A and B are shown apart, each in its own frame.
Chain A
């Protein structure tokens, strides 16, 4: 069964196609091609990326590729739905807090702009007919989670003909069909406080699973995780990890971030309202989950 791992988007991405079918290797090539293409367009760690070229032109409509437009459109949609708990304009605050190292080269990057403190997703306008994006004020867009989700989903479309496959982008998963034993895929949820342990496991088929945790990459000089509450600019503290099971990874990833920021009760309410499932674990290891979450036996 073809399995391949590459380093892309700041992590290791594994693609696993269960049937040993003709064309699987070529499909995996194309799937990884999307990861590289989407990273190239949507990274905020390269001034040359389409995203950062857009950032450099506040106040004018900028024509966007289908990839960038879709990523921004989706990010704004989730921002609206979550009341700003998820906000792609949080980018510059992450730079200010030290999340500005390009994982490929180690270089420190700074945007040549100083946004107002009160910028939000409402300062970004889309024109679907002309496919342009306008930044109403100088701001830095951070599409990290959305771009990775989009890459997982686009890669998944390349693999759909093989039915049974898995994509693991540093713990952001899409599981197609069945595992090699012919059963729904089993997915362990990392324990947010104990290394090497799982806090739960789920059964998943044709769905994405993503987790936002406070154990993720920390700023080099501070004891802070990377999940800021866009509404305050400070790290969110009421959740240790938020896991979301959704039809696609872009949605799962963005809603995991939003649920993390909203806290356990409001986070679960958002997931129920959006029609997806999830598990939220607090720093005290209290568990909150949606009614439809499918646990492994």
Chain B
């Protein structure tokens, strides 16, 4: 297999989710429009609103701005690495789907669709 080019991700900062690689900046300028954008993601347990703050054309932070799930969003509001570890401090990782993570992913996507 050929080695794919490494993604041009920004310097990792564990305080926020790096969603830039999943949602490349729009063609042309290569930059997002500055501002704060919101989007919703939906899960069987309720809905999550993401807030994405863009400055200088880059995503500075993506966080949960409104949590309407049946359980506390605290399981995902402390973003990585806790987002993956979620509910339990007693184990290293948890197997099983993560609707809350998927809902947050969708919410960030929707917010970014407004920043083009």
Q: Known: A7-B22, A170-B102. Contact between A198 and B12, CB under 8 A? A: no
Measured CB to CB, the closest approach of chain B to A224, in angstroms, equals 11
Residues from 71 to 94 in B contacting A, C-beta threshold 8 Å:
71, 75, 79-81, 83-84, 87-88, 90-94
Docked-complex contact A11 and B81, CB < 8 angstroms: no
Q: Known: A106-B113, A170-B102. Contact between A3 and B81, CB under 8 A? A: yes
Q: Is the interface of B mostly helix, strand, loop or mixed?
A: loop
In this complex, the interface size class of chain A, counting residues with CB under 8 Å from chain B, is 35 or more
Q: Is A168 an interface residue, CB under 8 A from the partner?
A: yes
Docked-complex contact A198 and B88, CB < 8 angstroms: yes
Measured CB to CB, the closest approach of chain A to B21, in angstroms, equals 5
Measured CB to CB, the closest approach of chain A to B1, in angstroms, equals 5
Residues of B close to A201: CB separation below 8 A: 90-91
Docked-complex contact B98 and A195, CB < 8 angstroms: no
Residues from 156 to 209 in A contacting B, C-beta threshold 8 Å:
166, 168, 170-173, 175, 179, 185-190, 192, 195-198, 201, 209
Docked-complex contact B96 and A171, CB < 8 angstroms: yes
Count A-B pairs with CB separation below 8 Å: 174
B98 contact from A12, A103, A198, A210, Cβ within 8 A: A12
Docked-complex contact B97 and A36, CB < 8 angstroms: no
Q: Known: A12-B105, A105-B109. Contact between A172 and B4, CB under 8 A? A: no
- A41 and chain B: residue at smallest CB distance: B4
Measured CB to CB, the closest approach of chain B to A167, in angstroms, equals 9
Docked-complex contact B88 and A12, CB < 8 angstroms: no
Residues of B close to A211: CB separation below 8 A: 95-97
Q: Which of A46-54, A77-85, A126-134, A215-223 lies on the face that meets chain B? A: A215-223
Docked-complex contact A14 and B81, CB < 8 angstroms: yes
Q: Known: A2-B12, A12-B98, A104-B109. Contact between A187 and B6, CB under 8 A? A: no
Q: Is B55 an interface residue, CB under 8 A from the partner?
A: no
Docked-complex contact A7 and B83, CB < 8 angstroms: no
Cα A216 to Cα B97 with chains together (Å): 6
Residues of B close to A196: CB separation below 8 A: 71, 75, 87-88
Q: Known: A171-B98, A217-B97. Contact between A5 and B83, CB under 8 A? A: yes
Q: Which of A26-34, A89-97, A264-272, A283-291 lies on the face that meets chain B? A: A26-34
Q: 6 closest A-B pairs (Cβ-Cβ)? A: A190-B96, A5-B80, A37-B4, A188-B91, A14-B84, A7-B22
Listed A/B pairs (7) with beta-carbon separation below 8 Å:
A5-B84, A7-B17, A33-B3, A189-B95, A209-B95, A217-B102, A243-B95
